[in-house]
Structure 1
């Protein structure tokens, strides 16, 4: 079964999503509608079953044009991509790279998915060929256990703060929101400048939110100050197959002091506790302070790799 490097117009989107939705790796970011919202177009390494045209393995490679040629990049709001396989005899990452002849791209950067982690070590011998492997991590919390057991694994300070909140005359409460716009505004006012997001990024995020809402895969939660109605914290959660993803969040300074993010996440954990096979993916953890925040809920680090290389354009190769 051949592996092909396909350009976007050549990709059968129905076959693509059929493969992604049945793949062993659970990666919502690789769905065609997600990539259309965040990247627009993408190349792909695809293993095709000749007799049926079915896709047995896919590796999305979002591309954009630069003066030196096409560049593979990681789109915004897309934590993981990498190889997705829905056939027991599907190729490995190394086989896909070799078959696809990826050095044709002058620059290449992609973040694999945590299901590829067992294979990323195989790239070590290729480091002197210009391929760089960097380790990243997210945090996972299985939600199979009852809430009481999950709560017992929280950091003692988190349990104490939740008890104090419940004992307050007007405790903070997480509630579903009808729109994500107040959350986006809060993010722009707090994290936005540091994150470096531009108007085009927010336009992509709004397209993605719309696509998620249409598929009933998005839950928007917020915590407000009861007396004033001020938004203290909010978050978007994506439910896809066996993953519940803490996708996008923001909190005001007052909200952080009041423990609003803690109340929000505890509400989600409590409502989904006892769900067989469901995993809360905190979608982050590379920054130490954020990693500690996630670990305090009893979540464990889960590694995934990023691959990159830079190839000089032919007209610069004479330089030393």
Structure 2
């Protein structure tokens, strides 16, 4: 069993996905089809069983080329990556994997998964703590509802008391939801480029093909206008709040609250399942998630920047 740095062309994607599926860390972002949609290509440090050729662990490295050289980056709609190990892995120290990439990249930025703890920054890297919010869906719905902030419970009751309560329904596609996101202030603030929206659509197509994505929406009862929508990803042990948008009228009506209450209610009582809200670095959004009873969970972001060769020459 040995660690190897493999460029993308040398990766066995079948062995890759088998490893990701068997990993002790549930990280759906690391599947080859997910990375193909959001990054296009990636290299990796891989632990290989020399006898069978099976991958025992993988450390994905999404790559893009820049004028100053190649860099590792965190692809859009891919919150966490890092080292994924299986029961048969003998190499579990992330530092051993980082050693094999030393000097290969002009820049390096990668967000690790929540199960990967680092006491301090590896030599040559900077370490920053980030947060996501997670809620265990093991309790039954009444217990989960009791953990909601009081005003959320009140707003849910008031909606049900209306002559025409707002309702959550499934949608066949997310095109209108994406358009809503682009036209609202949230989309402008996100600063996504056209190619990143194309990657999102490609990812949503891959999720739909595999039956892993669910698009939910809330519409105005009379006009049918889209008030809010969200995409949820279903994965063993994880339910991911991947993408969402709401109009000003939808936010005022509490449509995002209805969407999350719906998904919590329908998955409540599922042992071992976590709802990952996929965010928490913006205080207002963190409060919104915490008001559902979710807890902040840290994960690490690793950064490394090397001076281009010409700057090193100038500094001699």
Whether TM-score is above 0.5 comes out as yes
Residues 154-202 of structure 1: CA deviation (Å, up to 9, x unaligned)? 0011111111111111111111011111101100111222111121111
TM-score, structure 1 as length reference: 0.96
CA distance in 2, matches of 1:276, 1:103: 44
1:184 and 2:185 aligned: no
CA distance in 2, matches of 1:101, 1:196: 30
Task: Give the match for residue 236 of structure 2.
Answer: 241
Once the two structures are TM-superposed, the CA of residue 89 in structure 1 deviates from its matched residue by 2.7
Alignment of 1:108-147 (within 5 A): 108-116=108-116, 118=117, 120-123=118-121, 126=123, 129=124, 131-147=125-141
Task: Give the match for residue 96 of structure 1.
Answer: 97
CA distance in 1, matches of 2:16, 2:217: 34
Segments of structure 2 that go 5 or more residues without pairing to the other structure are none
The 3-state SS of whatever aligns with 1:318 is helix
Task: Give the match for residue 161 of structure 2.
Answer: 167
Task: Give the match for residue 155 of structure 1.
Answer: 149
CA distance in 1, matches of 2:271, 2:115: 19
Once the two structures are TM-superposed, the CA of residue 101 in structure 1 deviates from its matched residue by 3.3
Residues 33-73 of structure 1: CA deviation (Å, up to 9, x unaligned)? 00000111101010111111111110100001111211111
TM-score, structure 2 as length reference: 0.97
1:37 and 2:37 aligned: yes
CA distance in 2, matches of 1:103, 1:25: 28
CA distance in 2, matches of 1:281, 1:90: 28
1:107 and 2:101 aligned: no
Once the two structures are TM-superposed, the CA of residue 88 in structure 1 deviates from its matched residue by 4.9
CA distance in 1, matches of 2:91, 2:280: 30
Task: Give the match for residue 230 of structure 1.
Answer: 225
Query: After alignment, is 196-205 or 139-148 more displaced?
Result: 196-205
- Is the Cα contact below 8 Å between 1:147 and 1:273 reproduced in 2? yes
Once the two structures are TM-superposed, the CA of residue 316 in structure 1 deviates from its matched residue by 1.3
Once the two structures are TM-superposed, the CA of residue 217 in structure 1 deviates from its matched residue by 0.1
Segments of structure 1 that go 5 or more residues without pairing to the other structure are none
Task: Give the match for residue 205 of structure 2.
Answer: 210
Query: After alignment, is 141-150 or 83-92 more displaced?
Result: 83-92
1:305 and 2:300 aligned: yes
The 3-state SS of whatever aligns with 1:317 is helix
CA distance in 2, matches of 1:159, 1:37: 38
Task: Give the superposed CA RMSD.
Answer: 1.0
- Aligned length, in residue pairs: 313
For 2:287, which of 288, 292, 298 is the aligned residue?
292
Residues 219-255 of structure 1: CA deviation (Å, up to 9, x unaligned)? 0000001011011000000001110000000000110
- Is the Cα contact below 8 Å between 1:39 and 1:75 reproduced in 2? yes
